[in-house]
A and B are shown apart, each in its own frame.
Chain A
Amino acid sequence: MSSTTTTRPNGLALFILPSALMFALFFFLPIGLMALMSVLTGNPVVMPKVAFTTRHYARMVGDPYYLEVIWTTIRIGLVTTLVALAIGYPLAHWMARIKSRAGHALLLMAVLAPMLTGIVVRTFAWMTLLSDKGVVNQTLMSLGLISQPLKLMYTETGIVVGLVHIYVPFMVLTLTGVIGRIDERLEQAAENLGASPLRAFLEVTLPLSLPGILAGSLLVFALAISAYVTPILLGGFQIMTLPILIYQQISANFNVGFAAALGIVLLVISLMLVIAYNRALGLVSGQRELQ
């Protein structure tokens, strides 16, 4: 007994070692450096005399502009997540429950196909649709429904549309796996006991798919708040988000310390979400006594 408990982790450690090293080198090291930079007065590589400072963070907290950017980022993330969930859930439910194999394959293709095209290409496609002289506005105007072009691009709405399109597949794939593992007979049992199909869904399938909803939302939110290309192209620098701000601080202002501090804020938002997710999941599954 004791021999297995001592030798087995050692054997395993050998296998884990390479990936652990990779992880440390390419993940913890950069983040550690970023954290370090965010509390230094300058870049120690080029500037011999640097000191510790909290001024980057103080600047963020002190200037409403930066708080507004953070809030915009979170808002875009939340709206994108909710819309992706609203679109993705029915699709995932359909995919998880469809009987015909061909139908399932078709749906899967439809969900995956957009992922085969690059984000930039897809974002440009949205620009041709959403711009003032884009397909949507031209169509509406030629139909006489509107006289002025609607402002679709360079708005948060435009960014959300682009982001949802890109991240819905992540939501669908996460949810499909979870919904597919819920026994259909549970819904039938509910109907047998007098629940309408909608009620059966609300009472049984929805609560049981909560872990998938949480996981998918976390994934999409984290991806949406760190998205960069889409907010730039569809927002045209008129909507500021954290990733855009970080990019500007590095490339235009050369303020690496402030950029690092912004990066840390982005990271902390994501981390807080992961922690909240784990707690929520613990509550949900603790309730279900799965462990």
Chain B
Amino acid sequence: MSASIEIAGVSKVYDGGVRAVDAVAMDIRQGEFFSLLGPSGCGKTTTLRMIAGFETPSSGAIRVDGADITHVPAHKRDMGMVFQNYALFPHRTVAENVAFGLRMRGLDKATITAKVKAALAMVELSGLEDRRPAQLSGGQQQRVALARAIVIAPRVLLCDEPLGALDKKLRQQMQFELKQLQKKLGLTLVFVTHDQEEALAMSDRIAVMNGGRVEQVGTPTEIYNQPTTRFVADFIGDTNIFRGERTTTSTVASALDVGKGLILALPPTEGQGTGVLSVALRPEKIRLITRTDAATAAGSSAHGIVENTNFLGGAVLYRVTLESAHRVLVQQPNAGTSRLFVPGDGVTLEWTPADLVVLKD
């Protein structure tokens, strides 16, 4: 049966003095697809290895279904793990690799054979039982690693960038299949990735990590639409970040003066105040129209000139330089009805103040 995991204020300082994980706290729910997302070196693998029992936390505790397992050795944790390089046993066949965990559990031969067969069928590798790992493609190796980990019906499945070595097409297919499998088996899955698209596409919830700390935990939509820190806003997708002094104008009660005459109206939820603030505005939340000479709506529009365009197929990404010299990314759907802007075009940008997201630094 799948389990929940509680990571309570866990830190890891390596022998050299590197603080790889710093007071990380999160609750992973039973049956949840939970991703650890962050740039390389932010401590994702270390966190996962502490859950698996390959590293001991320097402080803090890890609990599974409420039971403290911080000092339980790895082989007694009953967790499946898919390693970044798969770590398949090179001297054993596909079937022997998958059977390994069952053998360690002392199951009888007939049961093992049946379970291995079923697991290999599940990952669509039937017929490759007698191959060695070296005779398999990257995608097939990945499936063997997955089959080997899930055949023992682990309480938790841990995956360290399992799709990182696959090419894009295969990766997308495996993302889909892994997600399907996880839902079908009701697995609690902790998934490490540095690929934000992958995390957004697959996860029930994501923990965004940076420099050993958790910046934000939330659903993909929360992480994307309401990033709470500058790092998260910047790391997930493209975004425009403005930083300025809070102010009040004749037309807008709560605004942000980001310099050179550009005033942004803050979302209505944000009361009046003082001090320095950062806000994020997603490129696709901005509308782009041919420059109008009409006065712009105070705080929610600006004039600018298109610097360059990047045709993405379904959408066009424009880099616009505002009259205030700020450079802004704007993404417009390629609706096909209106003409696309070209560099040098004068444009007017409009947005809704409610789409601005206020960030903690």
Contacts and interface: CB of A to CB of B under 8 A. Distances in A.
A186 B101 contact: no
Interface string A199-213: 110011001100000
A190 interface: yes
Interface of B: 15, 52-54, 73-81, 83, 85, 87-91, 100-101, 104-105, 132, 134-135, 148-149, 152
A21 B267 CA distance: 87
Interface of A: 99-100, 183, 185-186, 188-197, 199-200, 203-204, 207-208, 287-290
Nearest to B99: A193
A289 B87 contact: no
Contact of B89 (A186, A191, A290): A186
Given A188-B74, A197-B73, A288-B132, 5 more contacts: A188-B54, A192-B81, A193-B101, A195-B75, A289-B135
Contacts of A203: 89, 100
B134 A188 contact: no
A288 B90 contact: yes
Contacts of B134: 288-290
Nearest to B101: A193
22 contacts: A186-B87, A186-B90, A188-B83, A188-B87, A189-B83, A190-B89, A191-B54, A191-B73, A191-B75, A192-B74, A192-B81, A193-B100, A194-B75, A195-B75, A199-B104, A200-B75, A203-B89, A203-B100, A204-B89, A287-B91, A288-B90, A289-B135
Nearest to B54: A188
Contacts of A287: 91
Contacts of B104: 190, 193-195, 199
B141 to A, nearest CB: 13
A188 B83 CA distance: 10
Nearest to B100: A193
A100 B16 CA distance: 9
Contacts of A192: 52-54, 74-75, 77, 79-81, 149
B85 A185 contact: yes
Q: Across chains A and B, which 9 residue pairs bring their CB atoms closest together, nearest first?
A: A193-B101, A194-B104, A189-B87, A185-B87, A191-B75, A289-B132, A191-B74, A192-B81, A288-B91
Contact of A183 (B81, B87, B91, B135): B87
